[in-house]
Amino acid sequence: MGKEKLHINIVVIGHVDSGKSTTTGHLIYKCGGIDKRTIEKFEKEAAEMGKGSFKYAWVLDKLKAERERGITIDISLWKFETTLQTAQQTLKKKLKKKKVLSSN
């Protein structure tokens, strides 16, 4: 039996124009949920509309009206897998490696 993957749900709430879509889009990108080429495409398209800072928001804001007005109109759901590890897993690996190196 294979190791079961950890499943987490994240809900982002906040005031209007507080950067929810931008922050979430950036998180999805950093976790490998969307590729660099797509972000570069969004950056170019956003710059052409005079909204260069919206490249990460556009990961979630797909509607034309959302992009033109710079607001989220519809909810967004995003599912992806990542190979990123928790800080605890990383720390355990570092300590184990240090122990192996110091025993030589």
The whole-number pLDDT of residue 82 equals: 74
pLDDT at 57 over 70: yes
Find tokens 């300590």 and name the residue.
95
**Distance from C-alpha of 83 to C-alpha of 86, rounded to nearest angstrom:** 10
The whole-number pLDDT of residue 104 equals: 56
The whole-number pLDDT of residue 98 equals: 67
**Distance from C-alpha of 4 to C-alpha of 30, rounded to nearest angstrom:** 23
Query: What is the arithmetic mean of pLDDT over 87-96?
Result: 64
**Distance from C-alpha of 82 to C-alpha of 104, rounded to nearest angstrom:** 34
pLDDT tens figures, 29-48: 998 899 999 999 999 999 99
Domain ranges of the chain: 20-76+84-102
The whole-number pLDDT of residue 8 equals: 80
Q: Taking the model in full, what pTM does it have?
A: 0.70
- Which 3-state string (H, E, C) describes 7-73? CCCCCCCCCCCCCHHHHHHHHHHHCCCCCHHHHHHHHHHHHHCCCHHHCCHHHCCCCHHHHHHCCCC
pLDDT at 2 over 70: no
The whole-number pLDDT of residue 81 equals: 78
Token pair, residue 73, equals: 């109109």
